[in-house]
Structure 1
Amino acid sequence: MKLVVVSAGLSVPSSTRLLADRLAAATAGRTPARVEVVELRDLAVEIAHNFTNGFPGRKLAAALESVTEADGLIVVTPVFSASYSGLFKSFFDVLDPDALTGKPVLIAATGGSARHSLVLEHALRPLFSYLRAVVVPTAVYAASEDWGAEGLPERIERAAGELATLMTGLSAPPKHDGHDGDDRDGSAEKAGDGGFTVVPFADQLAALATR
């Protein structure tokens, strides 16, 4: 499986990239996945040109393709003016509107104060719900005082576990149990054209609740 991390940090080193790396490591430790990082800072000029000429540059096109082909996505943005950064939003504005449909996404953000933590629920979650992604229940916010304090590692592990579970559920191979596949109660899992089993989202959430 392919896990793509989109980091919108601007500084070097970046707390946004640090959080992204920790989330990726925790997720990859729970399910076999090849991790690829997309640094939006390096794509800023090509993103701007895409808005003016309608065509992505070589690096931007490769990043958009990686996100589209990912089995799971981790997105992390710094908070500016009580919302996600303009660079972060611009990247997803140039992404194909259908690219994230049904894709598991873990949302996260960093900021200088804990009072910005609601950005996850009033800005990021609505954005990815609009793009028809499957957003994991636990979102992760890291304020300056959270680094090295209790709570952040636990939130990272919980969110990573939820993402890994969704990635595994959405990519699991079909099971052959000898039945003819007759879906009498409407709840049986069905194999798609890609040869994988689509697990109903309600069943995935129920599985998370028992962890």
Structure 2
Amino acid sequence: MKIVALSGSIVGSKTKTSMKKVVEMFTQKYPEHDIQLLDLADYHIQFSDGRIYHEYGGDTKYVAEVMMAADAMIIGTPIFQASIPATLKNIFDLLPVHAFRDKVASIVVTAGTPKHFLVVEQQLKPILAYMEAHIVPKYAFIEEQDFLKGEIINDDVLFRIERLIEDTILTADAFQSIREKQDAKYDF
């Protein structure tokens, strides 16, 4: 199974720190799966201008193709000005409407206040649902006080990340099994 861990911002360190921890924990628990970290800070992504994703070149095409090839994704996002970053929204805009059909999506959020959970519920989940992702209902929500010197120090947060990884794999396995049963009904 191909999993993408997307760090959806080009600034700050907390989302990147969180997503590196996700990849580390995922690799330890599920070494048989292929997980790839896409940190948007490492790429030069063009703004979406309405073209089909494979018509772009360079980093833009690469990131879009990796997202399209994934079976599941763990999306990491900070909350800026009570919204997801434009860099993350741009990734969604680059992809086709049905880009996440038959894909599982889970979410890791870094935020300055507990009230920012509303951004996930009112912005990010609706976008993922519109793009037809199977969304893992619970997400890892990480606040400012959960970090110290570039590390996650809250054991409860680490437990929630571990649980999120497990839920992502279980959900992806369940939907894969359902798809296989549905495909077996057809003789072609």
**Class of the TM-score when normalised by the shorter of the 2 chains:** 0.7 to 0.9
Q: Which segments of 5 or more consecutive residues in structure 1 lack a partner in the other structure?
A: 175-188, 194-211
Query: Contact 1:27/1:164 (CA < 8 Å) preserved in 2?
Result: no
Shift of 1:56: 1.6
SS in 1 for 2:67: helix
Specify the alignment match of 1:159 in structure 2.
164
Q: Which segments of 5 or more consecutive residues in structure 2 lack a partner in the other structure?
A: 148-152
Identity of aligned residues (%): 25
Query: Contact 1:137/1:159 (CA < 8 Å) preserved in 2?
Result: no
Shift of 1:62: 1.4
Query: Contact 1:140/1:155 (CA < 8 Å) preserved in 2?
Result: yes
Query: Contact 2:4/2:36 (CA < 8 Å) preserved in 1?
Result: yes
Shift of 1:101: 0.8
TM-score scaled by length of structure 2: 0.82
Greater relative contact order: 1 or 2 (C-alpha under 8 angstroms, separation 6 or more)?
Answer: 2
Specify the alignment match of 1:98 in structure 2.
98
Query: Contact 1:138/1:158 (CA < 8 Å) preserved in 2?
Result: no
Work out whether 1:7 is the aligned partner of 2:12: no
1:51 aligned partner, one-letter code: D
Query: Contact 1:71/1:171 (CA < 8 Å) preserved in 2?
Result: no
CA RMSD of aligned residues (A): 2.6
Specify the alignment match of 1:33 in structure 2.
33
Shift of 1:92: 0.6
Q: 2:8 & 2:114 partners in 1: Cα distance?
A: 19
Q: 1:86 & 1:26 partners in 2: Cα distance?
A: 28
Work out whether 1:192 is the aligned partner of 2:179: no
Q: 1:128 & 1:29 partners in 2: Cα distance?
A: 27
Q: 1:53 & 1:64 partners in 2: Cα distance?
A: 12
Q: 1:42 & 1:8 partners in 2: Cα distance?
A: 11
Q: 1:138 & 1:76 partners in 2: Cα distance?
A: 13
Q: 1:109 & 1:26 partners in 2: Cα distance?
A: 17
Query: Contact 1:7/1:39 (CA < 8 Å) preserved in 2?
Result: yes
Specify the alignment match of 1:72 in structure 2.
72
Query: Contact 2:3/2:33 (CA < 8 Å) preserved in 1?
Result: yes
Partner of residue 174 from structure 2, selected from 169, 174, 191:
169
1:156 aligned partner, one-letter code: I
Specify the alignment match of 1:51 in structure 2.
49
Give CA-to-partner distance per residue, 1:92-151, whole Å, 9 cap, x none: 111121110121111122122333232221221111111110010211111111231242
Specify the alignment match of 2:134 in structure 1.
134
Shift of 1:80: 1.0
1:151 aligned partner, one-letter code: D
1:22 aligned partner, one-letter code: K
Specify the alignment match of 2:22 in structure 1.
23
1:158 aligned partner, one-letter code: R
TM-score scaled by length of structure 1: 0.74
1:104 aligned partner, one-letter code: V
Specify the alignment match of 1:182 in structure 2.
none
Comparing 124-133 with 3-12, greater Cα deviation is found at: 3-12
